[in-house]
Homo-oligomer: A and B are copies of this chain.
Amino acid sequence: MKKFINDPADVVAQALAGVAAAHPELRVDIDEQYIVRADAPRPGKVGLVSGGGSGHEPLHGGFVGPGMLDAACPGEIFTSPVPDQILAATKAVDGGAGVVHIVKNYTGDVMNFQLAAELATDEGISVETVLVDDDVAVEDSTWTAGRRGTGATLLVEKIAGARAEEGGKLAEVAAIGREVNTHSGSFAYALTAGTTPAAGRPGFDLPADEIEAGVGIHGEPGRRREKLRPARELVHSALDAILDAKQFPGPVIVLVNGLGGTPLIELYLIYGEVAKHLEDRGVRIARRLVGNYVTSLDMAGMSLTLCQATDEMIRLWDAPARTPGLRWGA
C-alpha cells in the first residue's frame, strides 16, 4: 500500500488536525472528532449535522460552512461515527431552533444517529432526521437494509442547508431535505477498488477488463460485473437505470461525481454524454455539478445523480455556499 500517511491507525485524527490548521473559519474538536462552523451555535438557526465514515471527502467535513452544514462527525474510515460524537456535535450547533441530522442509509449510521437523537432529545434539543437512500442500483446491500445513501447526500446538504441559512424552521428544513432525497436517484461504476489504510490492499479485486456496475461508496458489490465499455454506453446504462427507478418529468439537477481517483478530464467527458442522453430522453437539465465530491478514498469510478427539482429547490441550490469543498454565489 502506498499512501501519504504516518500510521494507518491515526489517519483520521491527523487529517482532522490538517483541516483545523487549514481552515480558521471552522472549529475542529480533535478529541471528540467533529468539525463545526467557528460561529456555532447560531442563535435561532436550525443546526444541520451530518456524518458518516471517513474516506468520502470532501463529504461531510468539507461541506461545513455558511449555506450548508453546521457540523460534521467523521467516523474512522468507512466506520460510523459513535453516538457520543454525534451528540457532542448536535449540542455544539444547537441554537435553540432544533437540529436536523442528515444520515446516509447504512445500518451503523442509522443506529448511532438515532441513539444520539434520543440522547439530544433527553437534553431538550429537538431533532429531526433526514435519511438519504438515493442509490437505485440495489435494494439491500452489505451494510444496508434498503437503498444506500450516496451522491444525493450532497444535494440534501446544499438545499436543506440553504433553507436553514435563510431562517427555515425545523420542520421546513427537514421537509425539503426529505423531498430532495425522495426525488433523487444515483448509480455508480467502479473501475478499481479503493484501499483503506487499515486493510492495506484494494477492497475487492477486479480483472483488468472488468468494472463493477452499481458499486457502493465503500466498495460494496453492485448489480453485476461487466466488461469495460465506452463511457457513452456506461452513461446510458446508468441514466436508464435511474430513469427506470424514479420519475423525472421536470427539470433536474445533475451531479457527475468522481469516486476519488478519476481525473476531471474524464468527468467532463462523462458530463458531455450525460447532457446528450438526457436530451434524447426528454429530460431538461436545470443545474449541474461536476467533480469529486462523494468519494471512496482512491477508487477510480464515478456516480451519476439526478434530482427532480422544483423551483424552490433550484432557488435554494443557487443560494450562496461557503465551505471548503463547495462554494459559490455572492
A228 within 8 A of B: yes
Residues of B within 8 A of A189 (CB): 4
Instruction: Decide yes or no: A261 and B298 within 8 Å by CB, A2-B191, A5-B231 being known contacts.
Output: yes
Q: How large is the interface on A (under 10, 10 to 19, 20 to 34, 35 or more residues)?
A: 35 or more
Q: In the complex, A228 Cα to B4 Cα: how many Å? A: 9
Contact (Cβ within 8 A) A263 B295? yes
Chain B residues contacting A264 (CB-CB under 8 Å) are 57-58, 62, 292, 295, 325
Interface pick from A16-24, A129-137, A160-168, A178-186? A16-24
Interface status of A145 (Cβ within 8 A of chain B)? no
A18 with B290: CB separation less than 8 A:
yes
Whether A6 pairs with B230 at a CB distance below 8 angstroms is: yes
For the complex, what is the distance from the CA of A251 to the CA of B188, rounded to whole Å? 44
User: Is A147 an interface residue when CB atoms closer than 8 A count as contact?
Assistant: no
Most buried by B among A192, A263, A270: A263
Q: Residue A328 at the B interface, CB < 8 A?
A: yes
Q: Which B residue sits closest to A62, measured CB to CB?
A: B264
Which residue from chain B places its CB closest to the CB of A289 in the assembled complex? B22
Contact yes or no, A14 B262, CB < 8 A = no
Residue of B nearest to A326 (CB): B327
Which B residues touch A22, using CB under 8 A?
A: 268, 271, 275, 288, 290
Chain A contact residues, majority secondary structure: mixed
Q: A266-B15, A328-B327 are in contact. Are A271 and B21 (CB under 8 A)?
A: yes
Say whether A228 contacts B295, CB under 8 Å.
Answer: no
Residues of chain B within 8 A (CB-CB) of A5 are 230-231, 266, 269
A223 smallest CB distance to B (angstroms): 18
Q: Specify the chain B residue showing the minimal Cβ separation from A5.
A: B231
Given contacts A5-B269, A15-B266, A22-B290, 17 further A-B pairs with CB under 8 A are: A2-B192, A2-B211, A4-B234, A6-B230, A6-B231, A15-B265, A17-B272, A18-B272, A22-B275, A55-B265, A57-B265, A260-B261, A262-B298, A263-B297, A264-B292, A264-B325, A330-B330
Please give the residue numbers on chain A whose beta carbons come within 8 Å of chain B beta carbons, in ascending order: 2-7, 11-12, 14-22, 54-55, 57-58, 62, 77, 189, 191-192, 208-209, 211, 228, 230-232, 234, 260-273, 275, 288, 290, 292, 295, 297-298, 300, 302, 322, 324-325, 327-328, 330
